[in-house]
């Protein structure tokens, strides 16, 4: 039983060592999409701040 557990543990540890994934064709496009999402979030945040500032000025 112990030998079986040691064998399973050895196989498990051997399977854990994976090389990092190679660069794919889609990497550049995914980076561009991530940048676009970040830019969109910045625009939404700026619009929200502007809306709050306008609301605050109209309430005074």
Count Cβ neighbours within 10 Å for each residue of 2-37 and write b for 16 or more, e otherwise. Answer: eeeeeeeeeeeeeeeeeeeeeeeeeeeeeeeeeeee
What average pLDDT does the segment 7-25 reach? Answer: 75
pTM of the model: 0.55
Give 24's pLDDT tier (boundaries 50, 70, 90). Answer: confident
The model's pLDDT over 40-58, given as tens digits with 9 standing for 90+, comes to: 999 999 999 999 999 999 9
For residue 20, CA distances in Å to 13, 17, 23, 56 come to 16, 10, 9, 51
Give 17's pLDDT tier (boundaries 50, 70, 90). Answer: low
pLDDT the model gives residue 8: 76
């Amino acid at each position: 039983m112990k030998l079986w557990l040691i064998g399973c543990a050895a196989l498990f540890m051997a399977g854990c060592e994976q090389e990092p994934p190679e660069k794919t064709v889609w990497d550049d496009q995914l980076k561009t999409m991530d940048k676009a999402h970040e830019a969109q979030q910045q625009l939404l945040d700026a619009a929200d701040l502007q809306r709050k500032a306008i609301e605050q000025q109209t309430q005074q």
